[in-house]
Amino acid sequence: MTDYSNLEDSQLIANIRQDAKAFDALYHRYLPRLYRYCLQRVGNAHQAEDITAQVFFEVLEKLMNGKYRETGSFPAWLFTIARRRVIDVYREPNPDTLEETISIHPDFSSLMEDRDQQRQLYYLINELDEERKELLRMRFAAELSFEEIAELDGRNPAAVKMAIYRTLDQLRVRWEQLYGK
């Protein structure tokens, strides 16, 4: 019996029409990353689940019907679809999404010292512009490599790497401004 969990993405995709377990392996490989990315985008677990499900149904349909062309990496393709579905949500006037668009606490960071740091970091990240926030989501929630993010954004990997480091540098400075080093 083939152990699909050890196969490369491209090998799994090649086997999908022959064996459901190949897609199952792909599903379990990317589900946590996709879900976390969606959750970071929409901020609501129910919606993140909805979008994650939509993306996987769409991916399955495209893979089964030969609509996936292996010209790049699978995760870059997967997260391109995810981005589109997230944008669909923003088009929908759904209350769960709208909650996130209201800036109730735009800058709460300087209130606390070194307590409850993750919550404070959340506010610091919210101070970033959308491009930088998206880079952090791609890097840390989706766990994409610099090359995969570059492919997704149509940029040079070195430029992506530099942009992420600058973003972290910016966060570090803000962090230290608030909490000391």
Partner 1 sequence: MESNLNPVPHPMETNISALFTSPQPHKEFVDDLAMKLHFQYLELKSTPIEIYPPKERWFLSLRRKLQARPILLILSILIAMLVLTGVVYAVGRLSGYIPGFGFTNSSQSVYVLDVPVKQDAGQVIFELTQAVSDDEKTWVKLRVENLPEEPHFSSAYLRLEDGTQFERILGHTEFLDGVSTLAYSFAPLPGENTQLTLVITDLLDSAVEIPFSFRPIRDGEMLPVVELGNYPLYSDAQQGLQLSLDYVAPASDRTVFQVTVHFEQPNTMIIGPWMVSLQDQNGMVYPLTDITPSNVDRNKSALFQTSAFAGNESLILKLRNDMQLENKINIMRDYSPDPGKFMFDFGDNPQPGQVWELDEQVQVGDATLHVVRAELLGGNELSFEFSADPNVTAVILYAEVPGIRSARSRPPVENQNFSSVIGFQQLPMEPFEIQIRSVFRTISGVWQVEWTPPAAPLETSTQLFPTATASTLITPTPTVEIEDALYLEVKRLSDQFDAPYQQGPGWVHIVTEQHSKVKEGQLLPPAYFKTNEWYEVDVDGYIQRSLYTDYTENGTILQQVATIGNYSINFTFGGGGYNETDLRLLSLDRLNESFQHADEYKSEISGEEVDCQDGKHCLLISVKDVLEQPVQESGSEKSISGIVLKVWIDLQTGLQFKYESIYLYDDGSEEVRTTRQVLLVEKVELAPEEVVGILDRVVLP
> Residues 4 to 63: which contact partner 1 by CB under 8 A?
17, 20, 23-24, 27-28, 31-32, 35-36, 39-40, 45-54, 56-58, 60-61
In Å, how far from its chain's centre is CA 170? 21
CB of residue 86 to partner 1, shortest distance in Å? 11
CB of residue 3 to partner 1, shortest distance in Å? 18
CB-CB contact of 55 with 81 (8 Å): yes
User: CB within 8 A of 79, min separation 6: which ones?
Assistant: 34, 37, 138, 142, 144, 148, 152
CB of residue 115 to partner 1, shortest distance in Å? 5
Which of positions 80-119 make contact with partner 1 (CB under 8 A)? 85, 87-88, 90-96, 98-99, 101-108, 110-119
CB-CB contact of 109 with 174 (8 Å): yes
Residue 169 binds partner 1, judged by CB under 8 A:
yes
